[in-house]
């Protein structure tokens, strides 16, 4: 078992490095906001920013007492208190919707922002309500036998479509078809980078301390 895991890690490392070098060397504008095929690397950019915060700057200067984001530490208490409160409230009101509230899943999904957006999370909520509430309530037999099979099938279908789309459109430098389903997620302030409460003037101003 150990030998198999070691081989898998070494092989995966080589494949990832080879894929990285291939993508960086053959796809124009990769990891830029205006990349033609949408290869903007949101997860990589988020990981890079997190590395700067936790490595270069350091958490003490970002989240320490009296710092700009010190208020974020209160969410440690909120995250610990919410499941406990939900447990006792659900026992007090056993027929309420509180029975179905699962705060670890809520906070875990919120922790995916960024790079995930409300548009993505909203789709998860809608699909989850349809299949795990409406379908389960109306067609319990079908739900018991096929619900998670369908979930796996959709995941596999999505992965195959990504591969096919990448080979057919990406490598041939063909623009993706323009239709409502592809354009509506980007027709909002969040996608345009304008979902902010304060816009900095073009005089070199910035948010945060003047020195670190």
85-115 pLDDT, tens digit per residue, is 999 998 889 888 888 888 888 888 888 877 7
Average pLDDT, the chain: 82
Q: What is the DSSP letter of 96?
A: S
212/196 Cα distance (integer angstroms): 24
- 14 pLDDT exceeds 90? yes
**Are 101 and 56 in the same domain?**
no
Rounded mean pLDDT, 182-197: 74
CA atoms 86, 91, 97, 101: torsion sign = positive
Question: Using alpha carbons only, how large is the chain's radius of gyration in Å?
Answer: 23
* Segments forming the whole domain that contains residue 41: 29-68
Number of domains in the chain: 3
- 160-178 as b/e: b if 16+ CB within 10 A: eeeeeeeeeebeeeeeeee
Per-residue pLDDT at 115: 77
Residue 81 lies inside a defined structural domain of this protein: yes
| Neighbour tally for 52: CB within 10 Å | 12
Residue 7 lies inside a defined structural domain of this protein: no
Residue 41 lies inside a defined structural domain of this protein: yes
- 209 pLDDT exceeds 70? no
Per-residue pLDDT at 143: 92
Residue 156 lies inside a defined structural domain of this protein: yes
- 183-209 as b/e: b if 16+ CB within 10 A: eeeeeeeeeeeeeeeeeeeeeeeeeee
Residue 203 lies inside a defined structural domain of this protein: no
Evaluate whether 63 touches 73 at the Cβ level (below 8 Å): yes
**Are 172 and 137 in the same domain?**
yes
Q: Which two tokens stand for residue 46?
A: 């988020």
Longest dimension (CA), the chain: 64
């Amino acid at each position: 078992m150990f030998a198999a895991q070691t081989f898998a890690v070494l092989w995966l490392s080589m494949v990832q490095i080879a894929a990285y070098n291939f993508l960086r060397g053959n796809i124009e504008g990769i990891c830029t906001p205006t990349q033609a095929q949408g290869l903007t690397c949101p997860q990589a950019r988020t990981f890079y920013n997190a590395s700067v915060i936790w490595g270069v700057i350091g958490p003490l200067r970002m989240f320490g007492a009296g710092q700009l984001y010190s208020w974020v530490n209160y969410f440690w208490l909120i995250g610990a208190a919410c499941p406990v409160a939900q447990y006792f409230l659900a026992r007090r009101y056993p027929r309420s919707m509180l029975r179905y509230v699962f705060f670890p899943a809520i906070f875990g999904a919120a922790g995916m922002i960024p790079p995930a957006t409300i548009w993505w999370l909203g789709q998860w909520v809608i699909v989850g309500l349809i299949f795990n509430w409406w379908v389960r309530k109306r067609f319990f037999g079908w739900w018991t036998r096929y619900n998670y099979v369908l979930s796996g099938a959709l995941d596999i279908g999505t992965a195959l479509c990504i591969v096919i789309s990448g080979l057919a459109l990406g490598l041939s430098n063909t623009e993706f078809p323009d239709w409502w389903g592809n354009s509506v997620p980007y027709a909002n302030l969040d996608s345009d980078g304008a979902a902010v409460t304060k816009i900095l003037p073009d005089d070199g101003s910035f948010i945060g301390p003047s020195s670190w």
